[in-house]
């Protein structure tokens, strides 16, 4: 079954064409890596699918399990099963992680027609997930991402992922700014979530993350479209030869 289907997608940001007829189909249960040089449209793809303001779809379609993503609000896409882990998670002073996580968790539950959790059972639930990621209780009490290191921010992204149980996960350069230990935590979380009904798009500039998350397919993005696809060996090839040869 195809989980996510992107068909000749074009999009603009700030008046410039960034995506130019991008097509991609992600079957359920697979991990796809999207690699490409800076400015190729990697992050734009994530933002367009997620629905961020300012990114204008000018052509094409994207469906998640048959649902037209572009007909949905940002939060409805999340309830439908989409999750975009950001390259730079946002700091929100004054809002504790616990409050944020519970609000998000219950909003998504409600939208999916599932029962919401009261504070006490939610605390128990979030602690069990936090333990998997080595996130201490005091981090949950602190304001969202405020004063967190790059690694801590990405751990919190993974915690959100574990709680919201998406079907289609997009990791946008999740490896940027991470040391090797943090990288392993993120990779372990992703690997533990691999399931027959869940898929991942791993957007990355470097091969490094793919040493820990082995993709089923690798795609090269240049000038807003997929120019080459292959198996995991394509990532290694890119690492050796650079993007210039392929993009040319």
Partner 1 sequence: MPTLQPEWPNNKIEEFKYTNLAKLSALELKVGRSELRHSPKLDGVTVSALPPALDMPVTPLTQRALASYDNGWLIEATGESTAPLELDLFAGEYTSSAPRVAIKLAANTKLMVFESAFAGASCLTNQLWQIELAEGAQLCHIRLQCSSGDATHLATSKVTVGRNAQYKLLTLNTGAALSRYEPHITLAAPGADASLTAINLLTGTQHGDVTSFMHHQSPQGSSRQMVRSVLAGHARGVYQGKIMVAPDAQKTSAQQSSKALLLSSGAEMNTKPELEIFADDVTCSHGATTGTIDRMALYYLKARGIPEAQARALLVSGFIAEALDSVTHDSLRLRLEQQVAQFMERTL
Considering the complex, what minimum distance in angstroms separates the CB of residue 232 from partner 1?
29
Contacts of partner 1 in 131-150 (CB under 8 A): 143
Tokens of 110: 């409600």
Residue (111 or 136) nearer to partner 1, CB: 111
* Residue 63 parent element (H or E): strand 55-64
Residue (167 or 208) nearer to partner 1, CB: 167
Q: Which stretch binds partner 1 (CB under 8 A): 57-65, 87-95, 115-123, 206-214?
A: 87-95
Cβ neighbours, 10 Å, residue 242: 11
CA neighbours closer than 13 Å in the CB half-sphere of residue 214? 3
Q: Does 169 bind partner 1 (CB under 8 A)?
A: no
Structural contact between residues 116 and 110, judged by C-beta atoms closer than 8 angstroms: yes
Q: Does 43 bind partner 1 (CB under 8 A)?
A: no
Binding test (CB under 8 A) with partner 1, winner from 79, 130, 183, 203? 79
Q: Does 122 bind partner 1 (CB under 8 A)?
A: no
Structural contact between residues 155 and 186, judged by C-beta atoms closer than 8 angstroms: yes
Rounded CA-CA distance 17/140 in Å is 40
How far, in whole angstroms, is CA 98 from its chain's centroid?
Answer: 21
Binding test (CB under 8 A) with partner 1, winner from 18, 45, 64, 86? 86
Rounded CA-CA distance 2/28 in Å is 6
Q: Which stretch binds partner 1 (CB under 8 A): 107-115, 186-194, 201-209, 226-234?
A: 107-115
Can you give the binding site for partner 1, defined by CB under 8 A?
50-53, 73-75, 78-79, 84, 86, 89-95, 99-100, 103-104, 107-108, 111, 143, 160, 164
């Amino acid at each position: 079954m195809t989980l996510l289907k992107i068909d000749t997608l074009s999009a603009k940001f700030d008046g410039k064409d960034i995506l130019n007829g991008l097509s991609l189909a992600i079957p359920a249960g697979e991990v796809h890596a999207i690699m490409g040089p800076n400015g190729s449209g990697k992050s734009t793809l994530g933002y367009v699918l997620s629905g961020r303001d300012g990114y204008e779809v000018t052509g094409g379609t994207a469906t998640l399990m048959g649902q037209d993503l572009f007909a949905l609000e940002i939060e409805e896409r999340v309830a439908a099963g989409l999750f975009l882990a950001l390259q730079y998670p946002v700091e929100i002073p004054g809002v504790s992680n616990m409050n944020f996580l519970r609000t998000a968790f219950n909003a998504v539950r409600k939208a999916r027609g599932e029962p919401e959790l009261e504070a006490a059972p939610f605390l128990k639930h979030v602690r069990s997930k936090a333990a998997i990621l080595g996130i201490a209780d005091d981090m949950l009490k602190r304001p969202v991402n405020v004063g967190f290191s790059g690694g801590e921010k990405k751990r919190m992204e993974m915690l959100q992922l574990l709680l919201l149980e998406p079907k289609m996960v997009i990791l946008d350069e999740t490896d940027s700014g991470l040391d090797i230990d943090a990288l392993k935590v993120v990779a372990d979380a992703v690997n533990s979530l691999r399931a027959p009904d869940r898929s991942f798009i791993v957007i990355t500039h470097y091969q490094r993350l793919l040493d820990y998350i082995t993709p089923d397919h690798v795609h090269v993005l240049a000038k807003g479209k997929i120019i080459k696809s292959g198996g995991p060996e394509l990532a290694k090839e890119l690492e050796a030869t650079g993007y210039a040869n392929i993009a040319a």
